[in-house]
Structure formats: C-alpha cells, structure tokens
C-alpha cells in the first residue's frame, strides 16, 4: 500500500489554490502628493490686526501659504518696534519669522543691521542674527558673528563683536 500520486497532486493543487485565494493582491500605486496650498499671492501686503490696533504688516512680491506655513519672496516686515525688516526669502510659521539672503533690519531711530540669516520671534520681539553681521548708525559700526537683539528694550548681546563708536567732541 502506498500513497498514490493522484492523492499527492490533488492535495498540492488544493493547497496552492487555497493559498492563492488567501493572498490579497494589490496594485502598488505611487503615493500621490496631496494638494495642500491654501493661498498664493503676488505683490501683496498682509496686515495683522487685533481688536484695537494694527500689529504688523508683511509685504512680498510672491508668497504661498501651505500647511499653515507662509513663505514669502522679497519680504518686508514692519511693526511698532521695527521700521523695516527685509530679506530675499522669509518663512513665517506660528510666531517665528525665518529670514534668508540679504537680511536688513532698520530699527526706528536706531541701528541698521545687515546679515545673511536671521530669525525674528514676533511674540517675544527678539531678533536672532545667526550669521556674521554689521550694524551701523551714522559713523558708529558694530560687527560680529551672531547677535540677539531685543526690539522692546533696545538691547543687543552678541558674540565676537567689534565696535567703533564716534562721540562728538566737546
């Protein structure tokens, strides 16, 4: 008595068919990028206001808001403490404004700071200059590697700072 070849082949065919039916075959689609762009504009001024006053303004030649992040080219930012804060590119996420490329800040009645990279926190009103910078006011010159500037208190602290101050002769 032996096992007949028909029984072995029948059991193998049933096993293969049942195994194939248990597999869930799917077409693997390439992941599609979901459209999330909320806003796109050109040559526009965005004004932030509350119930009492105007808080700030942002001007840009081109901008996109995508997933809550506003990216602006040729940005110019203005508020109560800052006469002008401009850069080639800016990215605003929550209250943090990141600036890149030819960043220039002109404070009201004060210094003009120039650098390549800076981060401005709108809530604390502190500008973090994260690249070598130059500050000028008349003939007074400040140069350094990095700086933190509190626009409320008009107080600057920096690293590797060189200064030249001119005082009037009396």
Q: What does pLDDT average to in each consecutive run of 10 residues of the chain (170 residues)? A: 76 86 68 73 85 85 88 90 89 91 87 91 89 86 86 80 61
pLDDT for the residue numbered 163: 67
Q: Which pLDDT score, from 0 to 100, does residue 109 have?
A: 78
Give the pLDDT score at 117: 94
Q: DSSP assignment of 60-93, as one string? A: EEEEEEETTEEEEEEEEEEESSEEEEEEEEEEEE
Instruction: Give the domains, in start order, of the chain with CATH numbers.
Output: 37-164 (2.60.450.10)
What local confidence, expressed as pLDDT, does residue 66 receive? 87
């Amino acid at each position: 008595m032996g096992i007949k070849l028909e029984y072995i082949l029948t059991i193998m065919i049933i096993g293969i068919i049942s195994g194939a039916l248990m597999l869930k075959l799917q077409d693997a689609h390439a992941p599609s990028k979901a459209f999330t762009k909320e806003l796109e504009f050109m040559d526009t001024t965005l004004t932030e206001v509350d119930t009492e006053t105007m808080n700030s303004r942002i001007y840009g030649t081109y901008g996109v808001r995508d997933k809550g992040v506003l990216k602006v080219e040729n940005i110019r930012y203005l508020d109560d403490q800052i006469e002008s804060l401009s850069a080639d590119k800016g990215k605003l996420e929550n209250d943090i404004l990141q600036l890149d490329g030819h960043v220039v800040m002109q404070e009201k009645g004060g210094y003009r700071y120039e650098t390549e990279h800076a981060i401005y926190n709108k809530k604390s009103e502190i500008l973090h200059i994260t690249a070598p910078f130059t500050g000028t006011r008349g003939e007074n010159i400040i140069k350094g590697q990095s700086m933190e500037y509190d626009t409320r208190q008009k107080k600057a602290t920096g690293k590797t700072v060189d200064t030249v101050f001119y005082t009037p002769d009396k």
